Structure 1
Amino acid sequence: MTKIVIIDDHQLFLHGLKLTLENSNNEVLIFDNPLLALMKIEKLQPDLILMDLKMPEMDGICMIDELAKRHIFSPVVVLSACEEYKEVLIALQKGAMGFIPKSYAPQDMLAGLESVLLGNIFIPDEVEQQLENLVVEERKNREMYHLSDRQAEILSLLYSGNTNREIAEQLSISPDTVKFHQKGIYQVLQVSGVSSRAKAIEKALKVGLLSS
């Protein structure tokens, strides 16, 4: 019997999915709170984790990061009703083993989960091409908006909310050097003005140089 954990904040969907999976002879444990799920999963040692991408306390991408930090390596399949697939791509890049739209037919979902349990990555055919298009677009953006390793490092620290002085301390460089690299970042991303930092972060997120 396969032990499956489902994490989703929508009660109707959560219980409906639980019933579907139990009818296929699975042991199913459900959580409507991802923080509570994190506390319990390590002891549960599930064979599979299904989680919504959009949850108020912690989204699915952050949840994948937390599972990795805690050395919990149960395969993860993300669920979403959204047809904007950028976050799905990020989840897969971070190690998710599959994606299932919430509109998927039960039998198709079960077949997809079975594939993941066999060690495969499952992506519906109708979604795979759109994800490939996103990968191509991100590659083009990285080539168009090419940052040096140091600039990319500083951009990431800016996105994390660090001040110039904090960045200088973390990288063991002077604040003036941080400012010099910032100017380079703004030039590459073609932003200017008093809100250059915010504009640079917004554009970097848009073109795929940063992950939200």
Structure 2
Amino acid sequence: RRPDVVVMDLHMPGMDGFAVLKHIRSRPLPVRTLVLTALADGESLQRVIELEADGIVLKTEPPRQTVEAIRQVAAGQVVYPRAVHNWLLRRANRRRTAGPSDALSDREREVLKLVAAGKSNQEMAARLHLSPNTVKYHLQNIYRKLQVNNRTEAANYYLQNKHRL
């Protein structure tokens, strides 16, 4: 029997929650998904939204709100907490006056700083508590947003513009 709602974390033992969400969304009839997470950083929220999760609940919310969110998602509603709405508004306001580096998320700025410090993907993953694949994902976004082709160009961009980052 197919579940009504999949409730999942982004960080599960042996699995990348983003990859699981992407897989669910790639299915012909994707099941509704509710992401239960402690991560409220912009980059994680952006990825969850891009991967079309039906809802997000922060682990800091009371259990009754989590149960209510599950019911709402099962009924076909999209559920995002106030923190996500606030983040989306801040992001929209930043983009109105944005230069290339303004498009970077906070996590991408952290990764860019570590690239400029000469850190490897493995070192960045360990320091930021991410998988190496997530670091690669951030690097691809950085290259695209800054319109650079590689780590060296990204590091050079950082060194020339760190006062604005």
Supply the RMSD in Å over aligned alpha carbons.
Answer: 3.6
Shift of 1:108: 1.1
SS at 1:99 equivalent: strand
User: What number of residue pairs does the alignment pair up?
Assistant: 118
Structure 1: how far apart are the matches of 2:78 and 2:62? Answer: 18
Shift of 1:52: 0.6
User: 1:107 aligns to what?
Assistant: 64
CA distance 1:190–1:93, shift in 2 (3 Å): closer
Once superposed, which parts of structure 1, at least 4 consecutive aligned residues long, lie more than 4 Å away?
Answer: 138-146, 199-203
Q: Distance in 2 between matches of 1:63 and 1:138?
A: 29
Question: Is the partner of 2:70 in helix, strand or coil?
Answer: helix
Higher RCO, Cα 8 Å, sep 6+: 2
In the alignment, structure 1 residue 59 sits paired with structure 2 residue 16: yes
Following superposition, the deviation at residue 45 of structure 1 comes to 1.1
Identical amino acids, percent of aligned pairs: 24
TM-score for the superposition, normalised by structure 2: 0.56
How far, CA to CA, are the matches of 1:79 and 1:198 in structure 2? 33
Could you tell me which runs of 5 or more consecutive residues in structure 1 were left unpaired when the two chains were aligned. 1-43, 147-185, 204-212
| One-letter amino acid of the counterpart of residue 67, structure 2 | L
Deviation for aligned residue 1:125? 2.1
| Unaligned 5+ runs, structure 2 | 104-142, 157-165
Provide the C-alpha distance between the structure 2 equivalents of 1:145 and 1:124, rounded to a whole number of angstroms. Answer: 24
Does 2:78 correspond to 1:78? no
**Is 1:120 equivalent to 2:73 in the alignment?**
no
In structure 1, how many angstroms separate the alpha carbons of the residues matched to 2:99 and 2:19? 23
TM-score when normalising by structure 1: 0.45
Distance 2:153 2:93 in 1: 22
